[in-house]
Amino acid sequence: MPPNSGSSKVITIALVATALALTVASMHWIQKLVFDLPFTESIVIEKMWASASRDKIFVHLTLVNKGNVPVQLDSILINGEPLNNYRGASQGEFYTGLIIHVGESRSGTISIPYEPPLREGMIMKFDIVTSTDNHYVFFITIPSKPS
């Protein structure tokens, strides 16, 4: 038997125990870092413009999920009223239940009948409402009808 085999075993056991303790501590730190992140819902209206035909107003949108959780669309409000209160209106690609994943971009068009009380130059408030009841608000000015 080599003369230092007893102390060599003790040193090996101490090094393994230290490595194990550091591994457990690192895993705990990573777990705390990951699970303590706040879940942030964030929709950014990246592009938005309005156009019109003789009988419809078109609101063109690009929405981007800039948060760290998927976002589910619940409804669209116009001046505080549900979009479906406007006869003939369409949510287009932004249907109820649409899920926009983290980093994903969605483009689409909302259409509304161009009829009273809506008129050229009027400012309309839109709310994109999510399933967590967050409201992402934007405004448009109703464009004139083509000649």
pLDDT tier, 25 (very low <50, low <70, confident <90, very high otherwise): confident
pLDDT tier, 12 (very low <50, low <70, confident <90, very high otherwise): confident
User: pLDDT per residue over 58-75, tens digit each?
Assistant: 999 999 999 999 999 999
Q: To the nearest whole percent, how much of the chain has pLDDT over 90?
A: 67
What pLDDT score was predicted for residue 38?
A: 78
Q: Does domain 43-141 have CATH number 2.60.40.10?
A: yes
The whole-number average pLDDT for the span 136-146 is 94
Torsion of CA 28, 31, 36, 40, to 10 degrees: 170
Whether pTM > 0.85 for this model: the answer is no
**Domains of the chain: which residue ranges?**
1-37, 43-141
